[in-house]
Structure 1
Amino acid sequence: MKAIDLAADEVASAGRVLVVGTSLKVYPAAGLCSCAHEYATKFYVDLDAKRQVPDFTVIQGSAEVILPDLLKTWTR
């Protein structure tokens, strides 16, 4: 099994999916977002964040600033 297939399986089974710091233009990795389960909590964090990602909450800003607070809410 290829690494991308393993990654797709992991994303598909995840309850939370966090995509950080990517333009989502490089495939096949960019296609992993579409593997996320419809009921998973999904966030896309990027400084530019000009793309909308279906079913993802898009947060534009610095990962260094955004991630600590976001991850705190996930670990409570």
Structure 2
Amino acid sequence: MRRDAQGFVLTGRDVPAELWRSELPPLDLETAVQGIFCAGDVRSGSMKRVASATGEGAGVVPLVHARVAAVRETV
């Protein structure tokens, strides 16, 4: 995983472009490691609030489902 200067995990378009796959950035809450998502206080750019972390956690569910579906298609 990549982190910012303060040690928070980079996600989505904040991940350095040289780590993108097929010239596409990771999904919004996805880290530089494909299929690994990050939400809440450890994520760079998060609001550092419980309600925000809860919303991000809920928001990552459809992203995980999409990633699992994509993996199934390649197997």
- Establish whether TM, by shorter chain, passes 0.5: no
If the length of structure 2 is used for normalisation, what is the TM-score?
0.30
If the length of structure 1 is used for normalisation, what is the TM-score?
0.30
